[in-house]
Amino acid sequence: MGYMHQVFLGGKGVFACRECRTHVALRAQIESRQYTGQCGRAILFADVVNVRAGKEEERSMTTGVHIVRDIFCMKCNKYVGWTYIKAYEPDQKFKEGKFILERELIYDAARDWGVY
């Protein structure tokens, strides 16, 4: 994938990798919380940082068939979610280029403090 400079996010509402606390997204980038992933609730983000994408694959989801790539924390290589490359259904096109992070796999400093 190549070498990436780790990005550090500032301000409130930083989501991090639950495993290694590498920053992955900002609350301001949240588009929707109404998603479900392999580990339960998931969040749709307009943009994320410090992730590496895996191979493209076609996946059947509740909203139709999509081409997606799983995304992994660049630091610890743990799976954190996926990104939409292509949506076949016209009403799902808006998801292309956006990212799903699984709520159970990321750390929200504001809510998860003291829990883990």
| Interaction site with other proteins (CB under 8 A) | 1-8, 75
Choice between 9 and 61, CB closer to other proteins: 9
State the DSSP H helix or E strand holding residue 110, giving kind and residue range, or none if neither.
helix 109-112
Minimum distance, C-beta of residue 81 to other proteins, in the bound complex (Å): 16
Minimum distance, C-beta of residue 80 to other proteins, in the bound complex (Å): 16
Minimum distance, C-beta of residue 34 to other proteins, in the bound complex (Å): 28
Cβ neighbours for 6, distance < 8 A, ≥ 6 positions apart:
22, 50, 74, 75
Choice between 43 and 71, CB closer to other proteins: 71
Choice between 2 and 114, CB closer to other proteins: 2
Q: What are phi and psi of 4, to 5 degrees?
A: -125, 145
Radius of gyration of the chain (CA): 14
